[in-house]
Structure 1
Amino acid sequence: MDEKTEELRDIFTSVTDEETVTESQEDERGSLDQDDRTVEERVEGVVEQMQDRYGFETSLSTSELVAVAYEFYEGHSDAAIADELGVDATDVFQARMALHLIDEDEVPEIDLGALREREADEATLATEYDVSVDEIERYRAIAAAQAESRAANDRYRDEFDSLLADADLTTRMAADAREDGLEDATEGMETDVSF
Protein backbone atom coordinates (compact mmCIF):
# COMPACT_ATOMS: atom_id res chain seq x y z
CA MET A 1 0.00 0.00 0.00
CA ASP A 2 1.44 3.39 -0.89
CA GLU A 3 1.46 6.39 1.44
CA LYS A 4 -1.58 8.14 -0.06
CA THR A 5 -3.72 4.99 0.07
CA GLU A 6 -2.77 4.41 3.69
CA GLU A 7 -3.65 8.02 4.57
CA LEU A 8 -7.06 7.69 2.92
CA ARG A 9 -7.73 4.41 4.71
CA ASP A 10 -6.85 5.97 8.07
CA ILE A 11 -9.11 8.97 7.42
CA PHE A 12 -11.94 6.69 6.34
CA THR A 13 -11.69 4.43 9.39
CA SER A 14 -11.43 7.39 11.77
CA VAL A 15 -14.64 9.03 10.51
CA THR A 16 -16.75 5.90 10.14
CA ASP A 17 -17.98 3.25 12.48
CA GLU A 18 -16.99 -0.10 11.02
CA GLU A 19 -20.30 -1.72 11.99
CA THR A 20 -22.31 0.78 9.95
CA VAL A 21 -20.19 0.42 6.82
CA THR A 22 -20.19 -3.33 6.40
CA GLU A 23 -22.72 -5.97 7.30
CA SER A 24 -21.76 -8.91 9.37
CA GLN A 25 -21.27 -12.02 7.27
CA GLU A 26 -22.13 -14.58 9.86
CA ASP A 27 -24.93 -16.40 8.03
CA GLU A 28 -25.08 -20.05 8.83
CA ARG A 29 -24.03 -22.51 6.19
CA GLY A 30 -26.47 -25.02 4.89
CA SER A 31 -29.55 -25.28 2.76
CA LEU A 32 -30.66 -22.45 0.54
CA ASP A 33 -34.12 -22.88 2.06
CA GLN A 34 -33.85 -21.23 5.46
CA ASP A 35 -37.58 -21.23 6.21
CA ASP A 36 -37.92 -22.27 9.85
CA ARG A 37 -41.66 -22.86 9.59
CA THR A 38 -43.08 -26.37 9.64
CA VAL A 39 -44.54 -27.85 6.48
CA GLU A 40 -48.03 -27.34 7.91
CA GLU A 41 -47.32 -23.65 8.59
CA ARG A 42 -45.98 -23.22 5.07
CA VAL A 43 -49.02 -24.94 3.56
CA GLU A 44 -51.22 -22.67 5.67
CA GLY A 45 -49.27 -19.70 4.29
CA VAL A 46 -49.99 -20.81 0.71
CA VAL A 47 -53.70 -21.21 1.53
CA GLU A 48 -53.81 -17.74 3.09
CA GLN A 49 -52.05 -16.21 0.07
CA MET A 50 -54.64 -17.79 -2.20
CA GLN A 51 -57.51 -16.56 -0.02
CA ASP A 52 -56.07 -13.03 -0.16
CA ARG A 53 -55.46 -13.12 -3.90
CA TYR A 54 -58.68 -14.76 -5.05
CA GLY A 55 -61.02 -13.90 -2.20
CA PHE A 56 -62.79 -17.23 -2.53
CA GLU A 57 -65.65 -17.98 -0.21
CA THR A 58 -65.87 -21.35 1.47
CA SER A 59 -67.58 -22.79 4.47
CA LEU A 60 -64.28 -24.42 5.48
CA SER A 61 -61.84 -22.79 7.88
CA THR A 62 -58.20 -22.24 6.98
CA SER A 63 -57.16 -25.27 9.03
CA GLU A 64 -59.77 -27.37 7.20
CA LEU A 65 -58.46 -26.10 3.86
CA VAL A 66 -54.96 -27.16 4.95
CA ALA A 67 -56.40 -30.59 5.83
CA VAL A 68 -58.03 -30.78 2.37
CA ALA A 69 -54.63 -30.17 0.77
CA TYR A 70 -52.94 -32.82 2.91
CA GLU A 71 -55.68 -35.37 2.29
CA PHE A 72 -55.70 -34.65 -1.45
CA TYR A 73 -51.98 -35.45 -1.62
CA GLU A 74 -52.62 -38.62 0.35
CA GLY A 75 -54.91 -39.69 -2.50
CA HIS A 76 -58.19 -39.53 -0.59
CA SER A 77 -61.48 -38.88 -2.35
CA ASP A 78 -63.70 -35.87 -1.72
CA ALA A 79 -66.14 -38.14 0.11
CA ALA A 80 -63.39 -39.53 2.39
CA ILE A 81 -62.07 -36.04 3.12
CA ALA A 82 -65.62 -34.82 3.80
CA ASP A 83 -66.18 -37.69 6.26
CA GLU A 84 -62.90 -36.86 7.99
CA LEU A 85 -63.83 -33.17 8.32
CA GLY A 86 -67.54 -33.70 8.96
CA VAL A 87 -68.60 -31.61 5.96
CA ASP A 88 -70.30 -32.18 2.62
CA ALA A 89 -68.31 -33.64 -0.30
CA THR A 90 -69.45 -30.71 -2.46
CA ASP A 91 -67.75 -28.31 -0.03
CA VAL A 92 -64.52 -30.31 -0.33
CA PHE A 93 -64.71 -30.28 -4.14
CA GLN A 94 -65.26 -26.51 -4.18
CA ALA A 95 -62.39 -26.01 -1.73
CA ARG A 96 -60.08 -28.14 -3.90
CA MET A 97 -61.00 -26.12 -6.97
CA ALA A 98 -60.35 -22.87 -5.08
CA LEU A 99 -56.93 -24.28 -4.11
CA HIS A 100 -56.22 -25.41 -7.71
CA LEU A 101 -55.99 -29.03 -6.55
CA ILE A 102 -57.22 -30.93 -9.58
CA ASP A 103 -56.74 -34.66 -9.93
CA GLU A 104 -55.81 -35.46 -13.53
CA ASP A 105 -58.11 -38.50 -13.39
CA GLU A 106 -61.15 -36.27 -12.86
CA VAL A 107 -60.52 -34.13 -15.94
CA PRO A 108 -63.02 -35.17 -18.62
CA GLU A 109 -62.01 -35.93 -22.18
CA ILE A 110 -63.80 -32.89 -23.53
CA ASP A 111 -62.45 -29.48 -24.44
CA LEU A 112 -62.76 -27.70 -21.10
CA GLY A 113 -61.62 -24.39 -22.59
CA ALA A 114 -64.47 -24.46 -25.08
CA LEU A 115 -66.91 -25.52 -22.36
CA ARG A 116 -65.76 -22.66 -20.15
CA GLU A 117 -66.30 -20.14 -22.95
CA ARG A 118 -69.78 -21.36 -23.82
CA GLU A 119 -72.65 -19.07 -22.80
CA ALA A 120 -75.30 -21.81 -22.86
CA ASP A 121 -76.95 -22.89 -19.62
CA GLU A 122 -76.02 -26.15 -17.88
CA ALA A 123 -79.16 -28.01 -19.05
CA THR A 124 -78.43 -27.23 -22.70
CA LEU A 125 -74.78 -28.24 -22.33
CA ALA A 126 -75.72 -31.42 -20.46
CA THR A 127 -77.95 -32.45 -23.36
CA GLU A 128 -75.31 -31.53 -25.91
CA TYR A 129 -72.51 -33.42 -24.14
CA ASP A 130 -74.83 -36.28 -23.08
CA VAL A 131 -74.01 -35.95 -19.38
CA SER A 132 -75.94 -34.81 -16.31
CA VAL A 133 -76.31 -31.18 -15.25
CA ASP A 134 -74.24 -31.97 -12.13
CA GLU A 135 -71.41 -33.24 -14.33
CA ILE A 136 -71.50 -30.10 -16.49
CA GLU A 137 -71.33 -27.94 -13.35
CA ARG A 138 -68.39 -30.02 -12.14
CA TYR A 139 -66.62 -29.77 -15.52
CA ARG A 140 -67.09 -26.01 -15.59
CA ALA A 141 -65.64 -25.72 -12.07
CA ILE A 142 -62.62 -27.80 -13.12
CA ALA A 143 -62.20 -25.66 -16.26
CA ALA A 144 -62.34 -22.44 -14.22
CA ALA A 145 -59.83 -23.78 -11.66
CA GLN A 146 -57.44 -24.87 -14.43
CA ALA A 147 -57.66 -21.46 -16.11
CA GLU A 148 -57.07 -19.64 -12.82
CA SER A 149 -54.12 -21.90 -12.00
CA ARG A 150 -52.57 -21.40 -15.44
CA ALA A 151 -53.02 -17.63 -15.15
CA ALA A 152 -50.85 -17.83 -12.01
CA ASN A 153 -48.33 -20.06 -13.86
CA ASP A 154 -49.43 -22.96 -11.63
CA ARG A 155 -47.51 -21.23 -8.84
CA TYR A 156 -49.73 -22.38 -5.99
CA ARG A 157 -50.05 -25.93 -7.28
CA ASP A 158 -46.26 -26.07 -7.59
CA GLU A 159 -45.88 -24.86 -4.00
CA PHE A 160 -48.29 -27.53 -2.77
CA ASP A 161 -46.40 -30.10 -4.84
CA SER A 162 -43.05 -29.10 -3.37
CA LEU A 163 -44.38 -29.09 0.19
CA LEU A 164 -46.68 -32.11 0.16
CA ALA A 165 -45.75 -34.37 -2.73
CA ASP A 166 -41.98 -33.93 -2.34
CA ALA A 167 -42.16 -34.30 1.44
CA ASP A 168 -43.88 -37.65 1.04
CA LEU A 169 -41.38 -38.70 -1.63
CA THR A 170 -38.43 -37.68 0.56
CA THR A 171 -39.83 -39.65 3.50
CA ARG A 172 -40.33 -42.75 1.34
CA MET A 173 -36.89 -42.44 -0.27
CA ALA A 174 -35.21 -42.07 3.11
CA ALA A 175 -37.03 -45.14 4.42
CA ASP A 176 -36.09 -47.13 1.30
CA ALA A 177 -32.45 -46.04 1.62
CA ARG A 178 -32.36 -47.12 5.27
CA GLU A 179 -33.86 -50.50 4.39
CA ASP A 180 -31.44 -51.00 1.48
CA GLY A 181 -28.53 -49.95 3.67
CA LEU A 182 -29.52 -52.41 6.38
CA GLU A 183 -29.92 -55.20 3.83
CA ASP A 184 -26.46 -54.51 2.40
CA ALA A 185 -24.89 -54.26 5.85
CA THR A 186 -26.40 -57.51 7.09
CA GLU A 187 -26.00 -59.51 3.90
CA GLY A 188 -24.24 -62.79 4.59
CA MET A 189 -24.39 -62.38 8.36
CA GLU A 190 -25.34 -65.35 10.42
CA THR A 191 -28.64 -64.63 12.11
CA ASP A 192 -29.27 -67.93 13.85
CA VAL A 193 -28.28 -66.86 17.35
CA SER A 194 -29.31 -68.65 20.53
CA PHE A 195 -29.07 -67.15 23.95
Structure 2
Amino acid sequence: MDEKTEELRDIFMDVSGEEAVTESQEASRGSLADTDEAGVTDRLGDVVARMRERYEFQTELADEDLVTVVRLFYEGSDDETIAAEIGTDESAVVEGRLDLHLLRDEDTEAPFDLPEFRRRVADDDPSVTELAAEFDIDESRAAHYRRVVAAQDAARRVSHRFQSQFEDVLTDAGLSTQHAAGLRDDGLDEATEDIDSLDSGADVSM
Protein backbone atom coordinates (compact mmCIF):
# COMPACT_ATOMS: atom_id res chain seq x y z
CA MET A 1 0.00 0.00 0.00
CA ASP A 2 1.54 3.29 -1.08
CA GLU A 3 1.62 6.38 1.08
CA LYS A 4 -1.25 8.08 -0.75
CA THR A 5 -3.55 5.07 -0.39
CA GLU A 6 -2.72 4.73 3.30
CA GLU A 7 -3.48 8.41 3.86
CA LEU A 8 -6.88 8.04 2.16
CA ARG A 9 -7.62 4.97 4.29
CA ASP A 10 -6.80 6.89 7.49
CA ILE A 11 -9.07 9.73 6.44
CA PHE A 12 -11.88 7.26 5.71
CA MET A 13 -11.45 5.59 9.10
CA ASP A 14 -11.48 8.94 10.88
CA VAL A 15 -14.68 10.01 9.15
CA SER A 16 -16.38 6.65 9.70
CA GLY A 17 -15.42 6.67 13.35
CA GLU A 18 -16.80 10.17 13.87
CA GLU A 19 -20.07 9.21 12.20
CA ALA A 20 -20.38 6.14 14.40
CA VAL A 21 -19.80 8.20 17.51
CA THR A 22 -22.26 10.83 16.35
CA GLU A 23 -24.95 8.21 15.71
CA SER A 24 -24.28 6.67 19.11
CA GLN A 25 -24.53 10.05 20.80
CA GLU A 26 -27.79 10.83 19.00
CA ALA A 27 -29.23 7.48 20.11
CA SER A 28 -28.16 8.14 23.68
CA ARG A 29 -29.73 11.58 23.67
CA GLY A 30 -32.97 10.14 22.31
CA SER A 31 -33.10 7.51 25.02
CA LEU A 32 -32.35 10.08 27.71
CA ALA A 33 -35.09 12.38 26.40
CA ASP A 34 -37.58 9.52 26.45
CA THR A 35 -36.62 8.65 30.04
CA ASP A 36 -36.86 12.28 31.14
CA GLU A 37 -40.24 12.68 29.48
CA ALA A 38 -41.61 9.66 31.31
CA GLY A 39 -40.09 10.88 34.56
CA VAL A 40 -41.57 14.35 34.18
CA THR A 41 -45.01 12.90 33.46
CA ASP A 42 -44.81 10.59 36.47
CA ARG A 43 -43.68 13.34 38.84
CA LEU A 44 -46.33 15.78 37.65
CA GLY A 45 -48.88 12.99 37.97
CA ASP A 46 -47.81 12.43 41.58
CA VAL A 47 -48.44 16.09 42.41
CA VAL A 48 -51.83 16.01 40.70
CA ALA A 49 -52.77 12.83 42.60
CA ARG A 50 -51.81 14.42 45.93
CA MET A 51 -53.93 17.45 45.13
CA ARG A 52 -56.90 15.29 44.16
CA GLU A 53 -56.55 13.41 47.44
CA ARG A 54 -56.35 16.63 49.46
CA TYR A 55 -59.04 18.65 47.69
CA GLU A 56 -62.48 17.91 46.34
CA PHE A 57 -61.81 18.33 42.63
CA GLN A 58 -64.68 19.62 40.53
CA THR A 59 -63.06 18.74 37.22
CA GLU A 60 -64.10 15.63 35.32
CA LEU A 61 -60.72 15.44 33.58
CA ALA A 62 -58.57 12.40 34.32
CA ASP A 63 -55.17 12.84 35.96
CA GLU A 64 -53.45 12.12 32.65
CA ASP A 65 -55.28 15.04 31.05
CA LEU A 66 -54.54 17.27 34.03
CA VAL A 67 -50.83 16.55 33.60
CA THR A 68 -51.17 17.79 30.02
CA VAL A 69 -52.95 20.89 31.33
CA VAL A 70 -50.00 21.57 33.64
CA ARG A 71 -47.40 21.04 30.90
CA LEU A 72 -49.12 23.25 28.34
CA PHE A 73 -50.04 25.91 30.89
CA TYR A 74 -46.38 26.31 31.80
CA GLU A 75 -45.45 26.36 28.12
CA GLY A 76 -47.68 29.41 27.75
CA SER A 77 -50.55 27.77 25.84
CA ASP A 78 -53.99 29.32 26.19
CA ASP A 79 -57.04 27.37 27.35
CA GLU A 80 -58.38 26.94 23.82
CA THR A 81 -55.13 25.32 22.69
CA ILE A 82 -55.03 23.05 25.73
CA ALA A 83 -58.65 22.02 25.16
CA ALA A 84 -57.89 21.06 21.55
CA GLU A 85 -54.87 19.04 22.66
CA ILE A 86 -56.79 16.88 25.14
CA GLY A 87 -60.06 16.78 23.21
CA THR A 88 -62.35 18.70 25.52
CA ASP A 89 -63.95 22.13 25.74
CA GLU A 90 -62.36 25.29 27.10
CA SER A 91 -64.57 25.45 30.20
CA ALA A 92 -63.35 21.99 31.24
CA VAL A 93 -59.75 23.19 31.01
CA VAL A 94 -60.55 26.24 33.15
CA GLU A 95 -62.20 23.99 35.73
CA GLY A 96 -59.14 21.76 35.79
CA ARG A 97 -56.73 24.70 36.05
CA LEU A 98 -58.56 26.12 39.04
CA ASP A 99 -58.52 22.74 40.79
CA LEU A 100 -54.74 22.75 40.24
CA HIS A 101 -54.35 26.33 41.57
CA LEU A 102 -53.18 27.51 38.14
CA LEU A 103 -54.58 30.96 37.48
CA ARG A 104 -54.24 33.40 34.61
CA ASP A 105 -54.34 37.19 34.71
CA GLU A 106 -57.73 37.22 33.01
CA ASP A 107 -59.22 35.03 35.74
CA THR A 108 -59.18 38.01 38.08
CA GLU A 109 -60.16 40.68 35.55
CA ALA A 110 -63.63 41.42 36.88
CA PRO A 111 -66.09 44.17 35.87
CA PHE A 112 -66.80 44.82 39.54
CA ASP A 113 -65.04 45.20 42.88
CA LEU A 114 -63.35 41.81 43.30
CA PRO A 115 -62.06 42.50 46.86
CA GLU A 116 -65.64 43.28 47.87
CA PHE A 117 -66.77 40.09 46.15
CA ARG A 118 -64.15 38.15 48.11
CA ARG A 119 -65.24 39.80 51.35
CA ARG A 120 -68.87 38.96 50.68
CA VAL A 121 -68.04 35.31 50.01
CA ALA A 122 -65.81 35.03 53.08
CA ASP A 123 -68.24 36.72 55.46
CA ASP A 124 -71.62 35.36 54.43
CA ASP A 125 -71.15 32.42 52.03
CA PRO A 126 -73.95 33.68 49.76
CA SER A 127 -75.44 31.63 46.95
CA VAL A 128 -74.42 32.13 43.33
CA THR A 129 -77.84 33.65 42.67
CA GLU A 130 -77.34 36.20 45.44
CA LEU A 131 -73.85 37.10 44.20
CA ALA A 132 -75.10 37.51 40.64
CA ALA A 133 -77.85 39.88 41.75
CA GLU A 134 -75.63 41.89 44.10
CA PHE A 135 -72.75 42.38 41.63
CA ASP A 136 -74.95 42.68 38.53
CA ILE A 137 -73.47 39.73 36.64
CA ASP A 138 -75.00 36.53 35.33
CA GLU A 139 -74.91 33.41 37.45
CA SER A 140 -72.31 31.63 35.33
CA ARG A 141 -69.87 34.52 35.84
CA ALA A 142 -70.67 34.66 39.55
CA ALA A 143 -69.91 30.94 39.81
CA HIS A 144 -66.64 31.41 37.90
CA TYR A 145 -65.39 34.25 40.09
CA ARG A 146 -66.37 32.32 43.19
CA ARG A 147 -64.22 29.43 41.94
CA VAL A 148 -61.35 31.82 41.20
CA VAL A 149 -61.50 33.30 44.69
CA ALA A 150 -61.62 29.81 46.21
CA ALA A 151 -58.60 28.69 44.13
CA GLN A 152 -56.60 31.75 45.17
CA ASP A 153 -57.45 31.21 48.82
CA ALA A 154 -56.60 27.49 48.67
CA ALA A 155 -53.25 28.19 47.00
CA ARG A 156 -52.40 30.89 49.51
CA ARG A 157 -53.27 28.68 52.49
CA VAL A 158 -50.54 26.23 51.43
CA SER A 159 -48.14 29.01 50.35
CA HIS A 160 -48.53 28.01 46.68
CA ARG A 161 -46.89 24.68 47.53
CA PHE A 162 -48.32 22.71 44.64
CA GLN A 163 -47.49 25.35 42.04
CA SER A 164 -43.93 25.33 43.36
CA GLN A 165 -43.82 21.55 43.03
CA PHE A 166 -45.01 21.71 39.42
CA GLU A 167 -42.34 24.30 38.69
CA ASP A 168 -39.63 22.27 40.43
CA VAL A 169 -40.40 19.23 38.27
CA LEU A 170 -40.30 21.24 35.06
CA THR A 171 -37.20 23.19 36.07
CA ASP A 172 -35.36 19.97 36.94
CA ALA A 173 -36.17 18.74 33.43
CA GLY A 174 -34.72 21.91 31.94
CA LEU A 175 -38.09 23.35 30.94
CA SER A 176 -38.92 27.02 31.43
CA THR A 177 -41.51 28.02 34.01
CA GLN A 178 -40.89 31.76 33.72
CA HIS A 179 -44.25 32.42 32.05
CA ALA A 180 -46.37 30.91 34.79
CA ALA A 181 -44.08 32.06 37.60
CA GLY A 182 -44.84 35.60 36.51
CA LEU A 183 -48.55 34.86 36.55
CA ARG A 184 -48.26 33.42 40.04
CA ASP A 185 -46.43 36.52 41.28
CA ASP A 186 -49.10 38.75 39.76
CA GLY A 187 -51.82 36.66 41.36
CA LEU A 188 -50.07 36.82 44.71
CA ASP A 189 -49.83 40.60 44.44
CA GLU A 190 -53.54 40.84 43.65
CA ALA A 191 -54.44 38.55 46.53
CA THR A 192 -52.28 40.64 48.86
CA GLU A 193 -54.05 43.78 47.69
CA ASP A 194 -57.37 42.07 48.35
CA ILE A 195 -56.28 41.16 51.87
CA ASP A 196 -55.10 44.72 52.51
CA SER A 197 -58.48 45.93 51.33
CA LEU A 198 -60.22 43.52 53.67
CA ASP A 199 -58.04 44.63 56.57
CA SER A 200 -58.67 48.30 55.89
CA GLY A 201 -62.39 47.65 56.00
CA ALA A 202 -62.25 45.74 59.26
CA ASP A 203 -63.66 47.13 62.48
CA VAL A 204 -60.64 47.83 64.72
CA SER A 205 -62.46 49.77 67.43
CA MET A 206 -61.88 48.65 71.03
User: TM-score, normalized by length of structure 1?
Assistant: 0.60
The corresponding residue for 1:136 is 142
Tell me: CA distance 1:68–1:126, structure 2 relative to 1, closer, same or farther (3 Å): same
Larger Cα-atom Rg: 1
Q: 1:162 aligned to 168, 171, 191, which one?
A: 168
**1:108/1:139 contact within 8 Å kept:** no
1:9-56: CA deviation from partner (whole Å, max 9, x where unpaired): xxxxxxxxxxxxxxxxxxxxxxxxxxx872222111111111122242
Is residue 75–residue 176 contact of structure 2 (8 Å, CA) maintained in 1? no
Alpha-carbon RMSD across the aligned residues, in angstroms, is 2.6
For the residue of structure 2 that corresponds to 1:142, the secondary structure is helix
The whole-number CA distance in structure 1 between the counterparts of 2:105 and 2:158 is 18
Corresponding residue for residue 30 of structure 1? none
Q: CA deviation at 1:136?
A: 1.2
* 2:151 counterpart (145, 149, 162): 145
- Gaps in structure 1 of 5+ consecutive residues: 1-35, 171-195
What letter is aligned with 2:176?
A: L
Return 114-123 or 72-81, whichever deviates more. 114-123
**How many residues of Structure 1 are paired with residues of Structure 2 in the alignment?**
136
Q: Which protein has the bigger helix share?
A: 2
Residues 165, 97 of structure 1: alpha-carbon distance in 2 compared, 3 angstrom cutoff: farther
Query: So what's the TM-score if we normalise by structure 2?
Result: 0.57
Higher relative contact order (CA 8 A, sep 6+): 2
Matches within 5 A, 1:17-56: 38-56=39-57
Aligned sequence identity (%)? 33
